[in-house]
Amino acid sequence: MKRPSYRMITMIGLCGALLIWCSSNENMDTNTSTVPSEETQSSSYINSESSSATSEESSNSESGESTESSLIPEESSSDSSSNEEPISTELQMDKEKILLPTFSPETVTENIKTNEKNTYTVSYINNQGEILDEVSGTRYGSPEAAEGDLTVGLPNRFFETADVPEGGEDLMSGITGYDIEKGDQKWLIWEDEEWVFNIHSFAGEQLSKRVEARDMITFLYDNPLPVPRSKGIVYLDYEPGGEDVVMVIRWQDEEMVYQVKTTRSSLEALEVTASLKQPSE
């Protein structure tokens, strides 16, 4: 067997080297075309992040505008409901002479019963159509004329403390109560500062008038009535049977006489009266 010549071996080596080099270049081209550059990767991430942030900001903006606009009608509705004119604006009497309650233990409807330059009466009616309170103010020609009419028109006789016999019984806190009986009628009378109180009832009825009087005195410590100039009266008139009661509270303020007439319990009536104020300007 003939051995291959040196020239043949050399040619075979050169051909092998050429094949290896061509294969290497082809692989490099393939890698270059499939792997993105670092700059391309970075740019792609930034664009994606920017797009996501823009989308989130747009979503938040739309949500904010929707919430804000939905609050506006609620606020407008609230403002419009508070613009209802108070009933005092319909009264002819000078506003600085008007007093009306700012509290009621239950929902009531106001109704103007009398409306003149020198007198007004406002009724307060519950949901059953019953008149619970009538609040009025009357202007007289002088303080003396006003004082002279302070006890006129009460359901029964009103006693001043000067009319009662000596003696009496301590109700509480140094306030003395006096009992008067005339026929089948009874009165419990006491005085507290400028106010004179009468509870009128009929004999034989089981009424604890002294307990009611003490409750009223205690209530007025923290809930004072308007200050009279110069006098005020509180009159409870129990009808026969001892269940139904009419309460009249009157006081003089110079030439004015104010009145609250009510069928409420005594403490509710005092609470309504204590809330009377001039209408706000």
Question: Edge-to-edge, what's the strand order for the sheet holding 232-238?
Answer: 109-115, 119-125, 131-139, 256-262, 245-253, 232-238, 195-202, 185-192, 175-182, 169-172
C-alpha 111/C-alpha 249 separation (Å) is 20
Q: Which pLDDT belongs to residue 19?
A: 52
Q: Answer whether residue 205 shows pLDDT above 70.
A: no
Q: Which pLDDT belongs to residue 69?
A: 26
Tokens of 220: 């007025």
Band (pLDDT 50/70/90 cuts) for residue 207 is: low
C-alpha 239/C-alpha 201 separation (Å) is 7
Band (pLDDT 50/70/90 cuts) for residue 13 is: low
Q: Which tens digit of pLDDT belongs to each residue from 70-114?
A: 212 233 333 333 457 889 999 999 999 999 999 999 999 999 999
**Mean of the pLDDT values across residues 203-218?**
84
Within a 10 A sphere around the Cβ of 135, how many other Cβ atoms?
Answer: 24
Cα angle 18, 20, 22; round to 5: 70
Residue type, 130: E
C-alpha 96/C-alpha 262 separation (Å) is 24
Band (pLDDT 50/70/90 cuts) for residue 167 is: confident
Band (pLDDT 50/70/90 cuts) for residue 240 is: confident
Q: How far is CA 73 from CA 10, 64, 66, 185, in A?
A: 97, 16, 12, 62
Q: Which pLDDT belongs to residue 242?
A: 73
Q: Answer whether residue 130 shows pLDDT above 50.
A: yes
Q: Which pLDDT belongs to residue 16?
A: 52
Q: Look at residues 133, 279, 162 and name the one whose alpha carbon lies nearest to residue 231.
A: 162
| pTM strictly above 0.75 | no
Q: Which pLDDT belongs to residue 141?
A: 96
SS3 at position 261: strand
pLDDT > 70 in the chain, percent: 68
Q: Which pLDDT belongs to residue 28?
A: 46
Tokens of 236: 């409870």
Q: Which pLDDT belongs to residue 175?
A: 95
Q: Which tens digit of pLDDT belongs to each residue from 37-66?
A: 444 343 333 344 444 444 444 444 343 333
Average pLDDT taken over every residue of the chain = 77
Would you call 243 exposed, middle or buried from its count of C-beta atoms within 10 A (0-12, 13-18, 19+)?
A: exposed
* More confident call, 280 vs 140: 140
**Mean of the pLDDT values across residues 191-219?**
88
